[in-house]
Amino acid sequence: MPPVLTVSQIVAMIKGSLERTFASVDIEGEISNWSLYPSSGHAYFVLKDAGAQIRAVLFARVPCDCRDRLGDGRRVKVRGTVTMYPQRGECQIFIKRLKIAGEGELMAKYLELKAKLEAEGLFAPQRKKPLPAYPRRIGLVTSPTGAVVHDMCRVLTRRFPNIHILVYPSSVQGADAPRTLIAGVDYFARNPWADLVIIARGGGSFEDLFCFNDEALVRAIAACPVPVISAVGHETDYTLCDFVADRRAGTPSIAAEIAVPVLDEVVKRIAQASAKMAYALRSRGDVVTQHIDRLSQTLSSALSARLKQDALRLSHLSQRLTTSLAGATQRFDLRLGAVSAALPKAAARMLERAGNRLERASSRLALLSPYSVLERGYSLTTDSAGRVVKDASILSPGDLITTRLAAGSVNSRVV
């Protein structure tokens, strides 16, 4: 009769048999349930294919230059030892070496194109456009089916209910994917409808995401006048679209969170800002009022002092003016008295001199007058027009003439 074994004994025997039989095996499969513990650096995950799965452990001490690009959906090739975890009775593999499956040739193409485009300046930070703070319309370039588009629309509308979303249906895997993706980017580039464009795809292997490394697609994103967010794969996945886009998001859901703010938080911030502004205005108003009061008091005191000074100066000027006027009045009175006393004598002399001048002028005038000649027996003849007749030839028979004598005049008619 065979001996009865304990559970620990049989598990130990299986563990030993596995480790001897599969001391070093090469396995290819897809990562699932990826868990990285930052405190230790160890990673635990499931390696699976379509028909089975096995747990795997990647210890921190194992050299792996692609550790930061590992995650769910990544297809890898590993070399390790198959063993058993006794406490759970589960089979697992301790990984000694790991590389991403099929990455060799594709990675070389990826790195070559990346270097070329980077040298052209397509990835330069200074050429990237800022994202709109409050976009009203967002264009999505992605597959119209699957969880990605639904998750993004759900996050966008939850955060900002008034957002408008337009999905341009594109393939996100396979040979035809670059053409449809470029068509979507070009559509929103030519159509001024969208404020922001998001190009998105869920997780997958390096090969699955390789369509997002297409050179023509990268150049289309670079030429797009509308800001573009690239949300391709998981946090650890990097495509050339991520480098050329104006913003990279680790996942499509994160892209939706980056694209729009939470409306309730915006309203709350506006309310808080309004309250702060009102308080600041009131505080400023109080400060200004106090300042005006101080200025009024200072101005009142200054005006009062100035008025007192002006009143004192006015009093002094009034006294001086009164004194000056009194002196001037006294001097005027004295001069007026002197003038009044001298006026009769001066007036008499002036009248006498004027009379003498008048008498002499009258004498001269009498001598010059033509009528004084008439006193000596002469006469003065004028025609009917009053002109003096000096020549008889100017007269005609019948003309009326007047002859003035010293006493009276005689009218005659020429015959």
Domain of 201, CATH number, reads 3.40.50.2300
The more confidently predicted of residues 158 and 234 is: 158
Looking at the structure, tell me whether residues 93 and 151 fall in a common domain. Answer: no
pLDDT-derived band at 403 (thresholds 50, 70, 90) equals confident
CB burial readout 335-363, b (16+ within 10 A) else e: eeeeeeeeeeeeeeeeeeeeeeeeeeeee
Q: Is residue 367 part of a domain?
A: no
- Given 210, 239, 264, which residue is the final one in a domain? 264
Using the predicted structure, report yes or no on whether residue 380 has a pLDDT greater than 90.
no
**CATH number, domain at 13?**
2.40.50.140
Maximal CA-CA distance, the chain: 212
Looking at the structure, tell me whether residues 97 and 139 fall in a common domain. Answer: no
What is the pLDDT, as a whole number, of residue 350?
80
Using the predicted structure, report yes or no on whether residue 343 has a pLDDT greater than 70.
no
**Nearest residue to 220 via CA among 168, 257, 284, 294:** 168
Average pLDDT, the chain: 87
Looking at the structure, tell me whether residues 64 and 147 fall in a common domain. Answer: no
- Are 199 and 181 within 8 A, CB to CB? yes
- Given 80, 101, 122, which residue is the final one in a domain? 101
Query: How far is Cα 71 from Cα 57, in angstroms, rounded to an integer?
Result: 13
Q: How many domains does the chain have?
A: 3
Looking at the structure, tell me whether residues 89 and 148 fall in a common domain. Answer: no
Q: In this predicted model, what pLDDT tens digit does every residue of 296-311 receive, in sequence order?
A: 788 878 877 887 887 7
Looking at the structure, tell me whether residues 144 and 240 fall in a common domain. Answer: yes
Using the predicted structure, report yes or no on whether residue 132 has a pLDDT greater than 90.
yes
Looking at the structure, tell me whether residues 260 and 377 fall in a common domain. Answer: no
Using the predicted structure, report yes or no on whether residue 187 has a pLDDT greater than 70.
yes
pLDDT-derived band at 66 (thresholds 50, 70, 90) equals confident
- Given 203, 233, 264, which residue is the final one in a domain? 264
Q: In this predicted model, what pLDDT tens digit does every residue of 216-227 receive, in sequence order?
A: 999 999 999 999
Query: How far is Cα 74 from Cα 100, in angstroms, rounded to an integer?
Result: 7
What is the pLDDT, as a whole number, of residue 407?
79
Looking at the structure, tell me whether residues 74 and 182 fall in a common domain. Answer: no
Domain that holds residue 186: 135-264
Residue with tokens 């341009």: 168
